[in-house]
């Protein structure tokens, strides 16, 4: 994309120090003069009209249309309710645009309008404050993200995927969760409401048994992280791009991201993804059945029975935690197949041999 570079010359009446201002789009086009402040602009590469408001470049328009198909585009996202609390109440920094922007600025004030997530949530428009001083909708933040377990998430060219991990990560340390031995609404809210995608991608924050060797698929080979699979390729408005959707359930998938690594006989398609997700579902259901038989899950709600209260040992809590963690990840194994299946298999093995 083209970048806008502008020189702003300001002339102030005698006795007043020279200052720099950024005019609005109207002044960019007209070079209008106001009172004692004269604005003159030299546009070297492009203009705001060419970049965002042109009738020839549809990139921004396409991104907006794709966004309408994304899971982030609706106010339902922040009106969701879990255990009687709305998502807006639980985490305005990740469920509203103004909340996220203020959180990035280390300003907890979210008293403004609770806007749904949109372009300006991740992108900073018309900015001259970033290190490269561009007007190209640069991401608001590309710094590495430290996960709750201490791991560093740092992926994508110039950290493009890092902004995703600010919200799509666990907000608590798994060790504290498991070793408390307490199962209550607060702890269920923590694990079920969290978005564990960054942790799962890294192969982190699951409960790992000392007798099992865990593997991780994606963290070393998918250099672009989230955007490499979810955004860098698209098919119309509903798949890939800013829709962030990998497949639509109707036989269509954006498999280009998968097939950067999966080549030849290992190429992915919608059918491949669906088949692997089916295997994951069957295996996770086997873990759920085992947890029900041990009394740790209710057979109708598939949540811990509130009357159960305290579980005797961390390994038993760990099996329950892994089930909840994998359910909340929502990728049905696709974010990190080997790690996800390892967590299920090791949990079932433990329950089959030692759980009472």
pTM of this prediction?
Answer: 0.79
- Pairing between β-strand 152-153 and β-strand 234-235 as defined by DSSP bridges: unpaired
Question: Is 119 found in the same domain as 268?
Answer: no
Residue 151: give the domain boundaries: 59-168
| 147 Cβ contact list (under 8 Å, min separation 6) | 153, 165, 169, 170, 198, 199, 202, 204, 205
- Rounded CA-CA distance 289/206 in Å is 19
The whole-angstrom distance between residue 202's C-alpha and the CA centroid of its chain comes to: 14
Question: Is 205 found in the same domain as 344?
Answer: yes
**Inter-residue long-range contacts of 210-216, CB under 8 Å, 24+ positions, other chains counted:** 211/346, 212/342, 212/345, 212/346, 212/349, 214/338, 214/339, 214/342, 214/343, 214/346, 215/338, 215/339, 215/342, 216/336, 216/338, 216/339
Question: Is 338 found in the same domain as 189?
Answer: yes
Question: Is 84 found in the same domain as 210?
Answer: no
Question: Is 332 found in the same domain as 190?
Answer: yes
Structural domain includes residue 88: yes
Structural domain includes residue 271: yes
- Rounded CA-CA distance 340/332 in Å is 8
Residue 138: per-residue pLDDT: 80
Question: Is 128 found in the same domain as 20?
Answer: no
Burial tier of 248 (Cβ tally within 10 Å: 0-12, 13-18, 19+)? middle
Q: What distance separates the 2 farthest-apart alpha carbons in the chain?
A: 86
DSSP 21: -
Question: Is 260 found in the same domain as 133?
Answer: no
Question: Is 333 found in the same domain as 269?
Answer: yes
Residue 75: per-residue pLDDT: 61
Structural domain includes residue 43: yes
The whole-angstrom distance between residue 45's C-alpha and the CA centroid of its chain comes to: 33
- Rounded CA-CA distance 65/240 in Å is 12
10-residue mean pLDDT profile of the chain (356 residues): values are: 35 35 43 41 47 67 90 67 56 76 73 74 68 65 94 94 94 87 78 87 96 93 94 93 90 92 93 95 97 89 72 87 92 96 97 75
Question: Is 330 found in the same domain as 314?
Answer: yes
Residue 89: per-residue pLDDT: 55
Structural domain includes residue 247: no
136, 115 in Cβ contact below 8 A?
no
DSSP 247: B
- Please, where are the H alpha helices in the chain? 25-30, 48-51, 59-67, 76-79, 87-90, 92-95, 97-104, 119-122, 162-165, 174-179, 185-193, 197-202, 226-230, 270-293, 314-329, 337-353
Question: Is 287 found in the same domain as 213?
Answer: yes
Of 141, 168, 195, the one marking the end of a domain is: 168
Reported as half-sphere exposure (CB side, CA atoms, 13 A), residue 310 has a value of 4
- Rounded CA-CA distance 238/23 in Å is 37
How many separate domains does the chain show?
3
């Amino acid at each position: 994309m083209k970048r806008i570079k502008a020189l702003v010359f300001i002339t102030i009446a005698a006795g007043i120090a020279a200052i720099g201002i950024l005019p609005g789009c109207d002044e960019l086009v007209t070079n209008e003069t106001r009172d004692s402040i004269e604005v003159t602009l030299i546009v070297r590469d492009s203009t705001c009209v060419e970049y965002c408001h042109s009738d020839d470049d549809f990139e921004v328009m396409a991104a907006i249309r794709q966004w309408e198909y994304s899971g982030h585009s609706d106010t339902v996202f922040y009106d969701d309710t879990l255990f009687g609390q709305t998502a807006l109440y639980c985490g305005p920094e990740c469920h509203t645009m103004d909340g996220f922007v203020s959180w990035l600025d280390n300003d907890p004030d979210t008293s403004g309008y609770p806007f749904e997530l949109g372009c300006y949530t991740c992108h900073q428009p018309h900015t001259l404050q970033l290190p490269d001083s561009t007007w190209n909708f640069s991401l608001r933040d590309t710094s590495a993200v430290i996960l709750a377990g201490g791991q560093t998430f740092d992926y994508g060219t110039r950290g493009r995927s890092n902004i995703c991990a600010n919200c799509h990560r666990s907000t608590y340390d798994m060790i504290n969760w498991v070793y408390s031995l307490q199962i209550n609404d607060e702890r269920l809210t923590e694990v079920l409401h969290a978005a564990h995608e960054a942790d799962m991608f890294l192969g982190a924050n699951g409960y790992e048994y000392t007798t099992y060797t865990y593997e991780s698929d994606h963290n070393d080979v998918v250099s672009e992280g989230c955007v490499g699979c979810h955004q860098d390729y698209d098919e119309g408005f509903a798949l890939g791009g800013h829709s962030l959707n990998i497949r639509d359930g109707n036989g269509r998938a954006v498999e280009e991201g998968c097939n950067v690594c999966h080549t030849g006989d290992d190429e992915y398609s919608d059918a491949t993804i669906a088949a692997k997700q089916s295997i994951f579902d069957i295996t996770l259901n086997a873990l759920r059945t085992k947890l029900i038989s041990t009394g740790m899950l209710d057979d109708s709600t598939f949540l811990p029975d509130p009357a159960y209260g305290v579980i005797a040992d961390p390994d038993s809590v760990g099996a329950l935690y892994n089930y909840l963690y994998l359910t909340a990840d929502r990728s049905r194994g696709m974010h990190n197949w080997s790690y996800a299946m390892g967590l299920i298999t090791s949990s079932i093995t433990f329950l089959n041999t030692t759980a009472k």
